[in-house]
């Protein structure tokens, strides 16, 4: 969840050196270094490849820019002609530096530290492509609900591109992949199956056909009680849960069948102190006995004191399952 990035001073330096965010993503030496920065500083168990979900539309030929400090800006895709103009055949060439970075990170990571690859889920990437920027994504919803057969064509392109992107990251050394559906939560329940579940299932099926043993983590942010049907219907191996779901609910409803990742609210990393460590322990008490990846419920916020991330890692490492506290295992 953005464990690299703006809260680390060493990131700011490389970001300035690169000039633009996308140059940072597409320059393997820099992307490798940024990926490794948090691992070197804090000793996490996994690195997430430094890239962005919007490199896929960029590779498809949509112009994507990131202004300094502002969100992304894309040339909007609004018509069937715009969809027909997308260029899936450019993917491999355009994203070659991302794959080179993945390969080098996989080689550089210490033994026992995993590399996680990722992509945006089709719905979330389509939201940015149609809208042209972040926000309420009303234009994307309008197209999806009003002319579903047209919008489906964009989703179909993204299903193929996303699967291809994940398959290649696994080939270059990613040991797990995560699908970020950051805007799944803006879908009404009546549209959830069509635009969140079905495309995700198609991506997972394509990926699993090539990499049956590489775990897929799904993150349909903000979807609360829909998480269970999401996990059942998509075929993901693990579910990343945001902070809106209680750790106890996830332990009861999801963890018997799926590994869980989450779910600390990133604002606790701004708060720090015992408020932070108490919350970490509560999450671990609920989920730590089963298959669980401790993580945030969303990305690290700019302005997070790096010392609080160090405190988090220390608190997670110090935690012991009930009954084993005294054994020092
Ligand atoms: O230097 C800068 O100013 C750029 C800030 C930044 C960073 C550090 C952006 C722009 N993207 C990233 C990296 C990033 N994005 C990673 C890297 C690996 C890591 O976690 O360390 C990952 C996994 C992402 C994924 C991503 N990008 C998502 C899904 C996760 C989420 O946060 O919900 C989304 C929605 C994006 C789009 C995006 N890229 C950048 C921004 C600021 C945004 C969000 C725009 C918005 O608010 O709508």
What mean pLDDT, rounded, does the chain reach? 96
pLDDT tens for 274-310 read: 999 999 999 999 999 999 999 999 999 999 999 999 9
> Ligand 1 test: best mutation among 36, 48, 52, most atoms within 8 Å of CB?
52
Query: Which residue ranges have their beta carbon within 6 Å of ligand 1?
Result: 1-6, 15, 21, 48, 50-54, 66, 71-72, 118, 134, 180, 182, 299
329, pLDDT greater than 60:
no
Choose, from 7, 15, 58, 242, the residue flagged as catalytic.
15
pLDDT at 250 over 80: yes
Residue 277 lies inside a defined structural domain of this protein:
no
128 is catalytic: yes
pLDDT for 326:
53
Per the domain annotation, does 309 fall within a domain? no
Summarised one tens digit per residue, pLDDT across range 226-243 is 999 999 999 999 999 999
State residue 322's pLDDT score: 80
Catalytic-residue membership of 52: yes
The confidence score (pLDDT) of residue 321 equals 87
- pLDDT one-digit tens code per residue, 167-185: 999 999 999 999 999 999 9
Instruction: Give the CATH number for residue 144.
Output: 3.20.20.210
| Residue 87: active-site member | no
Are the beta carbons of 54 and 74 closer than 8 angstroms? yes
Flag whether 52 is in a domain.
Answer: yes
- Would you call 172 a catalytic residue per the annotation? no
- What order of strands is seen across the sheet that includes strand 176-181? 46-48, 114-120, 176-181, 216-220, 238-241, 259-264, 292-296
Domain enclosing residue 150, as ranges: 9-240
pLDDT at residue number 60: 98
Output the pTM of the full model. 0.96
Number of separate domains in the chain: 1
CA distances from 68 to 27, 36, 132, 307 (A): 18, 23, 17, 25
* Long-range contacts of the stretch 26-31 (C-beta < 8 A, 24+): 26/55, 26/97, 26/98, 27/97, 28/97, 28/100, 28/101, 28/104, 31/97, 31/98, 31/101
Closest CA to 133 of 69, 199, 65, 47: 65
- CA 323 / ligand 1 centre spacing (Å): 40
The reported pLDDT for the residue numbered 10 is 95
Looking from the CA of residue 3, the nearest atom of ligand 1 is 21
Q: Is 261 contained in some domain?
A: no
Query: Tens of pLDDT along 125-164?
Result: 999 999 999 999 999 999 999 999 999 999 999 999 999 9
Give the pLDDT confidence of 65-117 residue by residue, as tens digits: 998 777 899 999 999 999 999 999 999 999 999 999 999 999 999 999 999 99
Predicted confidence band at 204 (pLDDT cuts at 50, 70, 90)?
Answer: very high
Whether 162 is covered by a domain: the verdict is: yes
282 belongs to a structural domain: no
* 136 domain-assigned: yes
- Residue 42 located in a structural domain: yes
Closest residue (by CA) to atom 42 of ligand 1? 71
The predicted model gives 196-222 an average pLDDT of 98
Helix/strand/coil for 220: strand
Task: Given the residues 7, 11, 26, 52, select the one marked as catalytic.
Answer: 52
199 HSE (CA, 13 A, CB side): 30
With cut-offs at 50, 70 and 90, classify the pLDDT of residue 328. very low
Q: Which three-class secondary structure state does DSSP give residue 258?
A: coil
Which of 128, 172, 221, 268 is catalytic? The answer is 128
């Amino acid at each position: 969840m953005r464990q690299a990035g703006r809260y680390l001073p060493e990131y700011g330096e490389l970001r300035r050196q690169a000039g633009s965010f996308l140059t940072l993503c597409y320059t393997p030496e820099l992307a490798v270094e940024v990926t490794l920065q948090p691992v070197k500083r804090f000793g996490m168990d996994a690195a997430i490849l430094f890239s962005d979900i919007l490199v896929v539309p960029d590779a498809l030929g949509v112009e994507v820019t990131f202004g300094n400090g502002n969100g992304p800006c894309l040339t909007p895709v609004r018509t069937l002609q715009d969809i027909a103009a997308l260029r899936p055949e450019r993917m491999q060439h355009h994203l070659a530096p991302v794959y080179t970075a993945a390969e080098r990170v996989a080689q550089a990571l210490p033994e026992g530290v995993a590399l996680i690859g990722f992509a945006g889920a089709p719905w979330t990437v389509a939201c940015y492509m149609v809208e042209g920027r972040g926000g309420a994504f009303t234009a994307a919803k309008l197209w999806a609900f009003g002319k579903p057969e047209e919008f489906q064509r964009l989703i179909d392109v993204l299903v193929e591109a996303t699967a291809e992107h994940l398959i290649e990251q696994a080939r270059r050394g990613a040991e797990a992949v995560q699908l970020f559906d950051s805007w799944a939560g803006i879908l009404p329940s009546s549209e959830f199956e069509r635009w969140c579940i079905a495309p995700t299932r198609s991506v997972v099926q394509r990926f699993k056909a090539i990499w049956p043993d590489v775990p897929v983590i799904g993150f349909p942010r903000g979807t609360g009680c829909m998480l269970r049907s999401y996990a059942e219907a998509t075929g993901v191996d693990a579910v990343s849960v945001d902070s809106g779901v209680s750790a106890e609910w996830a332990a009861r409803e999801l963890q018997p069948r799926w590994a869980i990742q989450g779910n600390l609210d990133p604002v606790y990393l701004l708060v720090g102190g015992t408020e932070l460590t108490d919350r970490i322990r509560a999450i671990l008490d609920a989920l730590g006995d089963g298959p669980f990846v401790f993580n945030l419920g969303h990305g690290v916020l700019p302005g997070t004191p790096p010392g609080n991330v160090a405190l988090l890692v220390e608190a997670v490492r110090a935690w012991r399952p009930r009954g084993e506290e005294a054994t020092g295992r």
